[in-house]
Structure 1
Amino acid sequence: MNTQLHQLTRALRDLHKQLIHIESQYFGNVGSPLEHLQLITNHPHFAWLQKLSGLMTQIDERLDEKEPVTPAEAKAFRQSLEMLIGPCEEGDQEFRAKYNAMLHDGPELVMAHGAVRRLLAAI
């Protein structure tokens, strides 16, 4: 399970990066990298991404523990991610609406989404 989750976290980082890139284009000129980081972490325009960021942090923290991740834990992470990015129907509709709209705005994002979905399917 740990190997699969490590692969998933790499794919999630790429997905997150693509989301930030597109959302930053919507926002406009952000200035220096430090100003960009402050906007991403503090500005309401980017706040919706914090749900994905927080889940990524939870997975990373669990992977840092000595004990291997159990199949039940991996499944719980999968379900949490699917609540955000699909296909779970009873997921976070606010997040999903923004996310799905952004999937139309960049082929790199679509590719990153596909990579995450493939890895989730294997868990």
Structure 2
Amino acid sequence: MAARVLVQYVVLRGDLGREPLAWPLGALVAQACHAALAVTHSHRQHPDTAAYLAQGGSMRTVVLEAPDECALATLATTLQQNSIDHKLWIEEPEHIITCLALRPYPKEEVHQYLKKFKLLK
């Protein structure tokens, strides 16, 4: 049997990088890193997370774009309703929803929830 392909999905708000918000690229990357690290730490005991981390340089991460805060919040609700482990990152002290990351999953288990989002550009 072939090994399962594990993917960590990160969904970042695209509107943060455009006017009128125009966050710097570094700030956006930091949001994605915060969310990915937080969910990975929270689920570090999960067998899929351990297997994903053991891949080292072969880890697969897909960064998608949510158009705005509402789309990201809606995704978080959908994932919660379907028991999909994730972290919704909220930048403090401003309390701005910026990013969402799933723990590593086999693509086929979570793709249906993410297929409407495009790759971040």
TM-score (norm 1): 0.29
TM-score (norm 2): 0.29
Please state which structure has a larger fraction of its residues in strand: 2
Please state which structure has a larger fraction of its residues in helix: 1
